[in-house]
Amino acid sequence: MKKYKTCIHRLGDYNSNFIYMKREDLIPFSFGGNKARKAKYFFDEIDRGNFDSVVTYGSGSSNHCRIISNMAKQRGLECYIISPKEAFEETFNQSMMNLFDAKIQVVSVDEVSDTIEKTLESLKNSGKNPYFIQGGGHGNLGTRAYVDCYEEIKEYEKENGIIFDYIFFASGTGTTQAGLICGQLINDDNKKIVGISIARKNPRGRDIVLSSIYEYFDEKKINKNRSLIEESTIFVDDYVGNGYGNMNDDISKTIENMISNYGIPMDSTYTAKAYNGMEKYIEKNNISGKNILFIHTGGTPLFFDYLKNKNI
């Protein structure tokens, strides 16, 4: 399979640290992002199989649902999306899902899993062969996508004679983080891989990352010391505010600084929330003189929602 590869560039300094950014947002499909990297692995399996439809779930602002419906449309596959009505929003991602003819069912959050079952069953009963993808591209294929991303980071380090001490990014379902940590453990490296939670609190948020790591190592029959895995899993929930999508003035400032000073779009739900969280974490822990990589995980359409909502 041909994989996506993204660039890393030096951004600037913060608190006497050297900040670099890996631009997953520049993956060349449907505004990119970590969901595009993960989706490629799922669709590789779909392309090798005999599937005629795809079923997944996510909110109206979901980058995952945009990418999945775009990749399905490209192949002429039907795409079914189950969306919890509590998190239903009119966003540009939502408009694109409509553009790609996704069949969206909006149900209350406690009916989501039943509706998925029913949708899969009725597709099968009508002779179809649906492929199911978990929300956010969660699961071993999604994890593998970020094991491979970790290998790209290693390559950059070798080519440029630099070692990153820290890697920061927005952590949601935890698959991105699980993949990066698996990559690090496979390579016996000892960076600090810090997921900044954008929604979940501990201990649940971190436990989900851990279970994704165990699930991946189980499947690959890789044996790693349990306490080393535990030690390597840093899931910071200090900056979630009032949960998913909740923002504050500091996050707004990050969005406006990033686009004004660097020309980099960020959004309030994921990347700017995590970037701002990273800065606070650096200050709080007196980190200085380190090489720090921030992974821009995408979500560019949500940047435009930010502008629209601000009436700029």
Ligand X SMILES: *Cc1c(COP(=O)(O)O)cnc(C)c1O
**Binding residues vs ligand X (CB under 6 A):** 33-35, 63, 136, 170-177, 270-271, 297-299
Rounded distance between C-alpha atoms, residue 185 and residue 182, angstroms: 5
**Whole-number minimum distance, CB 97 to ligand X, in Å?**
14
Between 60 and 298, name the residue whose CB sits nearer to ligand X: 298
C-alpha to C-alpha distance for 45 and 14, rounded to whole angstroms: 42
User: Cis ω on the peptide bond leading into residue 203 (within 30° of 0)?
Assistant: yes
Task: Give the nearest distance from C-beta 218 to ligand X in angstroms.
Answer: 19
Distance between CA 70 and CA 102 in Å, rounded? 9
User: Cα–Cα distance between 267 and 281 in angstroms, integer?
Assistant: 19
CB of 181 to ligand X, least distance (A): 12
Alpha helices by DSSP H, 20-59: 34-48
CB of 24 to ligand X, least distance (A): 8
We find the least distance from the C-beta atom of residue 169 to ligand X, in angstroms, to be 7
CB of 105 to ligand X, least distance (A): 21
259 and 265 Cβ atoms separated by less than 8 Å = yes
Closer by beta carbon to ligand X, 49 or else 243:
243
Rounded CA-CA distance 296/258 in Å is 12
Would the CA dihedral through 210, 214, 216, 222 be positive or negative? Answer: positive
Q: Residues 236, 194: contact at Cβ < 8 Å?
A: yes
In the complex with ligand X, which residue's Cβ is closer, 78 or 91? 91
Beta bridge partners of 23: 296
Q: Which is nearer to ligand X, 60 or 299 (CB)?
A: 299
| 100/303 with CB nearer ligand X | 303
Of 170 and 213, CB closest to ligand X: 170
Closest distance to ligand X from the beta carbon of 239 (Å)? 13
Q: What angle do CA 301, 56, 299 make, to 5 degrees?
A: 15
CB-nearer residue toward ligand X: 20 or 275? 275
Measured from the CB atom, the residue of 170 and 255 that comes closer to ligand X is: 170
Coil, strand or helix: which one is 7?
Answer: coil
CB of 90 to ligand X, least distance (A): 18
Task: Identify any residues that bridge with 56 across adjacent strands, giving them in sequence order.
Answer: 81
